[in-house]
Amino acid sequence: MVPEWQAAYMNYNHLKILIKEILIFRRLQKNQSTTSYQANQPLPSKASSRKRKVSLNRLSKRHSVNKDEEDEVILVSGMQLSSKEGYRTVFLRSSEDAGESELAFFKRLDDEFNKVIGFYKSKVGEMVNEAEELSKQMNTLIAGRIKVEDPDYCGSSRIFSSRFTDVIQETKMRGEQEMVSLDTLNHVKINVMHETPITSLKTAFTRSKLGLPFSEKEIKDAERKLKQAFIEFHLKLRQLKSYAFLNQLAFFKIMKKYDKSTSRNASKAYLEMVEKSYLNQSDEVAKLVESVEAVFIEHFCNGNRGLGMKTLRQKAKTDRHRVTFFTGGFVGLSLALVVAIILMIHIRKLLNSEGRDQYMTNVFPLYSVFGYLVLHLLMYSGNIYFWKRYRVNYAFIFGFKPNTELGYREILLVASGLSVLTLAAILSNLEMDIDEHVKRSRTLTELLPLGLIIVVLLIAFCPFNIIYRANRFFLITCIWHCVCVPLYKVTLPDFFLADQLTSQVQLFRNLEFYICYYGWGNYKKRDSIECLGSSVYDSISLAIAIIPYYIRCLQCLRRLFDGEDSSQAVNGLKYLSTIAAVIARTFYVQKKGLTLKLVAASTSVVATVYNTYWDLVCDWGLLRKNSENPWLRDKLLLPHRSIYFLAMVVNVILRLAWMQTVFDFHEAPFLHRTALIALISSLEIIRRGLWNFFRLENEHLNNVGKYRAFKSVPLPFSYENDKHL
């Protein structure tokens, strides 16, 4: 099933429930009639008992002879009324036991069938219209190729027509063929300019002209775009073909189940009606599939059918056993290293060591960066697991290339591999004092965190096709879009990633500490006093805390400018309130004072309430009083409503965690200050992980409500008007 079309499929489970209700009604009425009969009849004698047995045998024989005739004549008949009313079934045994329940079954069956027919017709119409546009685009591409290969060609007559157009004409029953001449290129604008900050500025302040001469590079880029559009269109056609097949199979199964449960013979007549319907008789989709394949092979694969079909029908992604194997191995190693670290701390009594404070201040923040990354990856893998379990099409929502999206196993593999490297490095330099016997190895071990950062960056930017290159480059592209905001059009992956960055403020501050510690500090003696007490360091730390919210604010303004949603202005104010709260809290921590404390507390309360309300109402779509599920959405994916209420409570509690800086909870008796900061930052990452699931669930349900199941591929050509074509 296509997840976004779920409501358009035949509701097989509900029809099964109606069949069970028919059997329950029959059983109840049979019990009532038996009880009434026994109460009104005298006890039978042996003779009357024998007579009744004989008469029952005669009746059963007579019934067996005429059963087929009666079922064929009086059981069910189907007729097609006007196209608006659709199909209706007349059930002629409503006077029998449980007749009303069977009437309800056939009424619901007809409603489901008409729903499927209506949806299928509407989608076929959309496919035909899209095929017409692709045909127009293909003809323009062919004309552009001819013009580029021979710029002096001045032919103005109608010279060619793609095979695609013929199928559309046959589908729409047009009389004359649609052809394209080279003159149409004077009324075509090519849209192949790559979106960059410079092109975005040019687009904002200039207007494109029609009829520009096409270069060879532009034609190549247009061909690439149109090729992707054909691949996506072919996928749509195959999914629509599968939709028709699955629904026909469902009607066949449910009618066979009805016959078996009720001892009727209704399936033959009803399935004949299904076979004669538009769902089975229409061949537009099959013709379009053949036409798309032929055009794609001819114009994009140089007639190589094998290559063309391999490109169009990409194999589904399969789980690999080695991913599970290595994940298990890395998890086992991580657990073993954690045990080794705990034993070393306990045996050598490092918590009571003189160098404890020095280690927690200088070394712990370096390794906590990797802890934040691993925790975020673990939350993301959990999100993917539950998205897949509840059929949230996250690959489509994020816009991953086909079969490149990572599953939860791959994410766990990356997280567990990074945790092994980090824990091994921690174990190697877990010394909290400067003894003579460790001075010689101190320099090397103190550089391990820096080495880990370099390794992670090298893997992230590695150009070779290893370690999930498509996903790494997708992430880097989204980060670049966030850096260059608002010069790029904001898509869901961009603002989704920016939201993740707002929960990783401490990670970025620790990266700042990396630069300070290894650049100006004395890492050989674990001394960073020169940078931690600097006003420049504090100013940069404040800027780092503000930047993620500033990015989200600019993204909201860009989406408002693009006319996507007027509520983005209110969303932008939410991030401005958060920036005000961060600035107020930072000044209070640095300078103290009652006035600053009141300002920090008030701005934090406003930002917390604002952000919590937006999370629950706008991002999660909850707190709807008049919903079918009180205070929740009309449609829910999770089976238990209590989970949503629990998630709301947890979100509020974790939102309050950042208030600790306002009320001087900087250090607990049993935790060092840096450990407490790491704990609070981890709670925020966990809150973000919970937010991710419900945010994408709401996005998925919005797509389901609009039946948006495929990404829209921008076409390379736009036209001044249709009269030139």
Q: pLDDT tens digits, residue range 697-722? A: 999 998 887 777 777 778 888 877 65
Task: Give the position of tokens 């693009």.
Answer: 562
- Which residue pairs from 316-319 have beta carbons closer than 8 angstroms and sit at least 24 positions apart in sequence? 316/403, 317/403, 317/405, 317/407, 319/407, 319/409
Q: By C-alpha distance, which of 204, 212, 246, 224 is closest to 120? A: 246
pLDDT at residue 341, rounded to an integer: 93
Return the pLDDT at 66: 43
* Of 297 and 182, the one with more pLDDT: 297
Q: Are 372 and 682 in contact (CB under 8 A)?
A: yes
Q: For the chain, what is the mean pLDDT?
A: 82
The confidence score (pLDDT) of residue 97 equals: 60
Residues 6 or more apart whose Cβ sits within 8 Å of residue 497? 475, 478, 479, 482
User: 397 pLDDT exceeds 60?
Assistant: yes
Q: Assess whether pLDDT exceeds 70 at residue 56.
A: no
Lowest mean pLDDT segment, chosen from 68-72, 263-267, 483-487:
68-72
| Selection from 505, 537, 538 nearest residue 372 by Cα | 505
Does position 391 have pLDDT exceeding 50, yes or no? yes
What percent of the chain has a predicted confidence (pLDDT) above 70?
Answer: 79
CA atoms within 13 A on the CB side of 168: 22
Question: What band does 422 get if pLDDT is binned at 50, 70 and 90?
Answer: very high
Give the mean pLDDT of 636-654.
93
Write down the pLDDT at residue 191. Answer: 76
Give me the DSSP letters along 125-192: HHHHHHHHHHHHHHHHHHHHHHHHH-TT----S--B--HHHHHHHHHHT-SS---B-GGGGGGEEE--
63, containing H or E segment: helix 46-74
**Quick one: pLDDT at residue 170?**
54
Phi first, then psi, for residue 718 (nearest 5°) are -125, 155
What are the tens digits of pLDDT across the range 314-358? 777 777 899 999 999 999 999 999 999 999 988 888 888 878 888
By the 8 A CB rule, do 241 and 289 touch?
yes
3-class secondary-structure state, position 568: helix
Please say if the pLDDT value at position 245 is more than 60.
yes
Give the per-residue pLDDT at 166. 57
Task: With cut-offs at 50, 70 and 90, classify the pLDDT of residue 84.
Answer: low
- Domain borders along the chain are 121-315, 321-705
Contact 392, 637 (CB under 8 A): yes
For position 381, what pLDDT does the model report? 97
Place 545 in a pLDDT band, splitting at 50, 70 and 90.
Answer: very high
β-strands 76-80, 87-91 pairing: antiparallel
Q: Is the pLDDT of residue 652 over 60?
A: yes
Helix segments in 566-640, DSSP class H = 568-591, 594-613
pLDDT of residue 724: 45
Torsion sign (Cα): 563, 565, 566, 567: negative
- pLDDT band at 476, cuts 50/70/90? very high
Q: How confident is the model at residue 667 (pLDDT cuts 50, 70, 90)?
A: low
CA atoms 111, 116, 118, 119: torsion sign: positive
pLDDT of residue 86: 75
Model confidence at 606: pLDDT above 60: yes
Q: Which residues pair with 76 in a beta bridge?
A: 91
What is the DSSP-derived secondary structure letter of residue 81? -
Pairing type for strands 76-80 and 717-719 reads: unpaired
**pLDDT at residue 625 in the model:** 84
Cα(239)–Cα(709) distance, integer angstroms: 10
Structure tokens at 563: 């006319």
pLDDT band at 33 (very low <50, low <70, confident <90, very high): low
Does position 157 have pLDDT exceeding 50, yes or no? no
Distance of CA 384 to the CA centre of its chain: 9
pLDDT, one tens digit per residue, over 91-116 is 766 656 666 888 888 889 989 999 99
Report the DSSP beta bridge partners of residue 522: 527
Two tokens, residue 682: 């981890």
Closest Cα partner for 628 from 641, 617, 643, 647? 641
Q: Looking at the whole model, is its pTM more than 0.85?
A: no
Number of C-alpha atoms within 13 angstroms, CB side, residue 698?
A: 18
Q: Which of 161-165, 340-344, 413-417 shows the highest mean pLDDT?
A: 413-417
Say yes or no to pLDDT of 178 above 60: no
Confidence of residue 528 (pLDDT cuts 50, 70, 90): confident
Question: How far is the first Cα of the chain from the last one, in angstroms, to the nearest whole number?
Answer: 38
